[in-house]
Amino acid sequence: MDSSPARKIPAPSPSRRPNGKPKSKPEENKGLKIIPKKVKTNIKMFSKRLGLDLPFLALVIILVIIGLIMMFSASYPSALEYTGSSYTYLIRQGIFAIIGIVLMILLSYFNYKLWHKLAVPILVASVVLLALTLIWPTGSSVHRWIGFGIFTIQTSEIAKFALVLFLAHWGSLHFKRMDTFKYGFLPAVIIFAVMAALLLKQPHFSGTVILAMLMVTMIFASGVKLRYIGLLFLMLALLVLLLFVTGKLGYAMERLNGWGQALVPNLDKDTWNDTYQTRNSLYAIGSGGFWGQGLGQSRQKYLYIPEVQNDFVFAVVCEELGFVGAVIILCLFALLVWRGITISMRAKDNFGTLLGIGLSAQIGYQAILNIMVITDWMPNTGISLPFFSYGGSSLLMLLCQMGIILSISRDSNLEKV
C-alpha cells in the first residue's frame, strides 16, 4: 500500500476552459478581426429615431397652408384695388412662409439648450429695438414697426419671444427658489415693466396685454406662489387706473368707443364710423351660417371690411367656411397648443419645459384674443391671428418658435440605436 500522501487535484482555474485549455484574453486576440453587426439606421429627416414630433409638424404645416389660402381669398379684392395685382399679398406671404418653414426645420436641429446662452443678449436686443421703434420715422403717430425698404419688423413680436426665453432661462436656473419674492416675482415684474412702458409709448396695448399674459403663465409654470400672482394682478389694475386718471390711456379709450355697440340701431355718426369694421365683420360671420357661402364667395371682403387681410381674416373664414369650418380651424389651434405643451412636459430639463409652454401659450392667447375682437367681445386692438393674418415678420417669428418646440421634441424623443 502506498503510504505517500494523496495529491490534491487543483480546482479548475477561472481562466481555464473545461478541457483544461486556458481561455484567451481579449488583448491576446490581436490577430482576430471582430466584425460588428450592421445596425440599420433610419436617416430620414422625419424619422421617429431623430425625435421630430410628426403630429406637431403636421399641425403647423396644415395651419400655414390653410392660412395662406384664406388670407389670399380674403385679400385679393383689396390687393387688386390698392396694388394693381390680386396676388400681391399672397406672393409676399408665400415667400415668408417658405423661408419660415425652412428656418423651422433648421432650428429643429439646433440644440435648444444653447438658447440658455442667448437669453440675456436677445432680451437686451429686444429692449433696444423697442426703444428704437419710438424714434424710427413713420408716417403716423403710431410707432410699431422698423422698416427696411419693403421689409418691416414689428418689434413686439421679438419682445414676446425674448420675454418667454429669458423667463424660461431664469426659471430653470433658480427653479428651487422661484417661490420666493426675490427670485420668482421681482425679476419678472421689472423686465415686464420696462417692456410694457416702451410698448405703451408706441402705443401698442394689445401687445402689452399679450406680454402680461405670457409673463403670468411663465412665472406660474416656474412655481411662483399664487399670492404673488394675485399681487401682480393688483399692481396691473392699479397701473391701469393710474393711466386712466392721468389721461395716458387716450389711445386705448378711443378703441373703446363703440365697443359692444356694432349692431345697435340708430347710432350717432361718430359711433357708427367707429364700429364700421367690427359691424361688417359681424355681418360676415352671420352670413356664413352653418356651412358657409363657399370658398371665395365672401361678400364682405369686397372692401367692406378695412384691412381684412390682417386682423379680420377670420371673419372671412367664418363667412366662406361657415360654423363648421371655423370650428375645425379652432380645433387645429387647440390641438397645436395641446401638442406643444405635451412635448414640453416631456422635456428632459426645466428649461425645455418652460420654454415650450411659453411658446405654445402665445399661439393660444393670440388666437383667442383675435377671435374675441372680430366677434366684438373685446375692443378692436389689432391682434393678429397666428399663421393667418398678413405679416411677414410675424409669420417668420412664429415658425422659428415652432422650430424650437420641434427641437425640444427631438431631444425628448431621442432613441438609442
Distance CA 160, CA 207 (A): 8
Provide the whole-model pTM: 0.83
Distance CA 248, CA 252 (A): 9
Given this model, what pLDDT does residue 316 score? 95
Distance CA 282, CA 275 (A): 10
Distance CA 83, CA 121 (A): 39
306 prior amide bond cis, ω within 30: no
pLDDT above 90 for 248: no
SS3 (DSSP) at 258 = coil
Given this model, what pLDDT does residue 46 score? 42
Query: Which 8-state DSSP code applies to residue 148?
Result: E
Given this model, what pLDDT does residue 40 score? 42
Q: Which residues contact 308 (CB under 8 A, 6 or more apart)?
A: 74, 75, 78, 300, 301, 315, 316
CB hemisphere CA count around 388 (13 angstroms): 27
Please report which confidence band the pLDDT of residue 239 belongs to, taking 50, 70 and 90 as the band edges. confident
Please report which confidence band the pLDDT of residue 187 belongs to, taking 50, 70 and 90 as the band edges. very high
For residue range 264-298, list pLDDT tens digits in order. Answer: 888 888 788 888 888 999 999 999 999 999 999 99
Task: Assign 3-state DSSP to the chain and report helix, strand, coil percentages, each to 5.
Answer: 65, 0, 35
Distance CA 90, CA 75 (A): 8
Residue predicted with more confidence, 198 or 137:
198
Q: What is the mean pLDDT of residues 170-197?
A: 90
Query: Which helix H or strand E contains 39, and what residues bound it?
Result: none
Q: What is the mean pLDDT of residues 215-233?
A: 90
For residue range 357-397, list pLDDT tens digits in order. Answer: 999 999 999 999 999 999 988 888 778 999 999 988 899 99
Given this model, what pLDDT does residue 26 score? 45
Longest dimension (CA), the chain: 136
Contact call for residues 272 and 287 (beta carbons, < 8 A): no
Distance CA 32, CA 12 (A): 26
pLDDT above 80 for 51: no
Helix residue ranges, H only, 110-154: 115-135
Query: Which helix H or strand E contains 152, and what residues bound it?
Result: strand 151-154
Give the DSSP per-residue string, 4-35: SPPPPPPPPPTTB-TTSPBPPPGGG-TT----
CB hemisphere CA count around 28 (13 angstroms): 4
- Taking alpha carbons only, the member of 275, 270, 250, 239 closest to residue 260 is 275
pLDDT above 50 for 47: no
Class of residue 18 by CB neighbours under 10 A (exposed 0-12, middle 13-18, buried 19+): exposed
Rg (CA), the chain: 30
Distance CA 269, CA 245 (A): 28
Given this model, what pLDDT does residue 102 score? 96
For residue range 146-179, list pLDDT tens digits in order. Answer: 766 666 788 889 999 999 999 999 999 998 888 8
Tell me the CA end-to-end span of the chain in Å, nearest whole number.
68
Question: Which residue do the cell numbers 396685454 mark?
Answer: 209
Angle (CA) 19 23 25, round 5°: 175
- Taking alpha carbons only, the member of 89, 315, 347, 391 closest to residue 221 is 347
Distance CA 258, CA 249 (A): 16
Contact call for residues 353 and 368 (beta carbons, < 8 A): no
